[in-house]
Structure 1
Amino acid sequence: MDIRIGTAGWSFPRALEAFPKDGTGLGRYAAVFDCVEINSSFYRPHQRKTYERWAASTPERFRFAVKVPRTITHERRLVGAGDLVARFLDETDGLGGKRGPLLIQLPPSLRFEAGVVDRFLADWRERTDAPTVLEPRHAGWFAAEPEALLASFGIARVAADPALVPQAAEPGGSPALAYRRWHGAPVIYESAYSPEALDRLAERLRTEASGADTWCVFDNTKFGAATTDALGVMARLNR
């Protein structure tokens, strides 16, 4: 199985004994987890040399998922963003072979429009063959046409929890990548998951890993639940 478990960002409760006492925050995090999702790139650009430094400070197996800037998704809304995409890809090339999936998270107000999406993804694929996953947040995306369009470009769709609609709870688009983002429930970004929910998740990840690269990122980071939930799933998978 190739299952990567991590959190959004590499902050973690300092009191947890699972992590080494010495080193940088990223170095200590990477001693325990084998992936992380960089969310800060959504809000501001990072220089290529910053990505290079992050890559150099982590073990060989470690991988970074990187969130696409909101200037592309929320401001230009996937239209006329080629210059911004080129800049983002050049910056994240600094991760080298440690660059994992690129995450395109859309605003809730962005409906599926086939022409807009087709043009954006065609340009995206002309620029990069990097594994890519898209997280739509409008109900109109969860239908046959958007699913087929994503798959045609080799783009996976996030399986999210909580799910906007039932289909949103399961991976979609390209079957080559299964990428789960668990945001916390019942209170998004705050709540920890129950042991029973983590049991079910671990079983799903085992199943998905038989046919796809499998990632699970916990985004319920506000009070540190992401770290303990991620550690809990890892423990279940290692039993």
Structure 2
Amino acid sequence: MPGSVYVGTAGWSVPREYGAMFPEPGTHLQRYATQLTAVEINSSFYRPHQPQTYLRWAQSVPPAFRFSIKMPKLITHVQRLQNCEALLDEFFSQCLQLGDKLGCLLIQLPPSLAYDAVVTAEFFRILRQRYFGSVVLEPRHETWRAASGLLIEHRIGRVAADPSPITGGTTPGGWSGVRYWRLHGSPRIYYSDYDMNRLQVLAAKIQLSAQAGAETWCIFDNTASGFALGNALSVRALSGPWFDGD
């Protein structure tokens, strides 16, 4: 069976130039969800959200819509994956209110965090005690190239990031059951637009991933100049029937 495909942006803002494509009434999230089936919540990285907020978001979107949630920086950047059981419990008490609309957890690591097999194995163990769904990791230190075996063991995909500071980091790695492209914008991170040639190549990779049966995500994070939404809509159109996993 083909895997599901989720295409969206980091956040659900609708720049003015795209307003005519989202004429339906409602909140920004409700309007956004009429055209795309996924969104990445980055604000959870900076601050907690009330459980009722996640529940309201879940109730605002269609049944097929899914959220990707970025793990708090208190876990990844402050505690650096260590001694964070209580923080994980707090985080999950909030975001699990999304119910089946919670599609994926994104763990983005600081560039200074090198791979430590013992620390990582323990973190993955306590994470998997609490959450069994899709998880992806975006490491930014070259040493994480050695983590493939551990990622596969715990069913965690490695993000294909553009740009990536890791050799081979523009290609999905780790567990192949979930593949997550995260497009930050290049050459100027957060600002650069992706031309149609790049988007066509990306759409072809998404189709191959879906054909292989993987849960496939494509999130555009080049939001600073408003290009993310247009790029996501283009990939949705280029992905054709694979967009909804049909």
Shared topology, TM-score over 0.5? yes
Question: Which of the numbers 55, 59, 79 marks the counterpart of 1:52?
Answer: 55
Query: d(CA) in 2 for partners of 1:132 and 1:236?
Result: 26
Post-superposition shift, 1:193? 0.5
Q: Deviations over 1:133-166 (max 9, x none)?
A: 11001111123xx000111011111010112234
Q: Which residue in the other structure is 1:7 paired with?
A: 9
Question: Which of the numbers 227, 230, 239 marks the counterpart of 1:228?
Answer: 230
Query: d(CA) in 1 for partners of 2:218 and 2:239?
Result: 12
C-alpha contact (below 8 Å) 1:161/1:184 kept by paired residues: yes
Q: Deviations over 1:164-207 (max 9, x none)?
A: 23410111111100011000011000000111100100001000
Which aligned pairs between 1:34-113 and structure 2 lie closer than 5 A?
34-113=37-116
Post-superposition shift, 1:15? 2.8
C-alpha contact (below 8 Å) 2:142/2:167 kept by paired residues: no
Which aligned pairs between 1:174-213 and structure 2 lie closer than 5 A?
174-211=175-212, 212-213=214-215
Aligned alpha-carbon RMSD (Å): 1.1
- 2:165 counterpart letter in structure 1: L
Question: Which of the numbers 227, 240, 244 marks the counterpart of 1:238?
Answer: 240
Question: Which of the numbers 18, 23, 28 marks the counterpart of 2:26?
Answer: 23
Query: d(CA) in 2 for partners of 1:210 and 1:75?
Result: 39
Question: Helix, strand or coil for the counterpart of 1:100?
Answer: strand
Query: d(CA) in 2 for partners of 1:65 and 1:224?
Result: 20
Question: Helix, strand or coil for the counterpart of 2:211?
Answer: coil
How many matched pairs?
237
Query: What residue ranges of structure 2 are gaps of 5+ in the alignment?
Result: 242-246
* Range that drifts further, 73-82 or 160-169: 160-169
Q: Which residue in the other structure is 1:168 paired with?
A: 169
Query: What residue ranges of structure 1 are gaps of 5+ in the alignment?
Result: none
**TM-score normalized by the length of structure 2:** 0.94
Post-superposition shift, 1:90? 1.3
Higher relative contact order (CA 8 A, sep 6+): 2
Q: Deviations over 1:40-78 (max 9, x none)?
A: 000000011100000001101110000000000000000
C-alpha contact (below 8 Å) 1:20/1:31 kept by paired residues: no
C-alpha contact (below 8 Å) 1:179/1:214 kept by paired residues: yes
Greater than 2 Å deviation, 4+ residue runs: none
Q: Deviations over 1:60-111 (max 9, x none)?
A: 1110000000000000000000100011111111101100100110000000
Question: Helix, strand or coil for the counterpart of 1:169?
Answer: coil
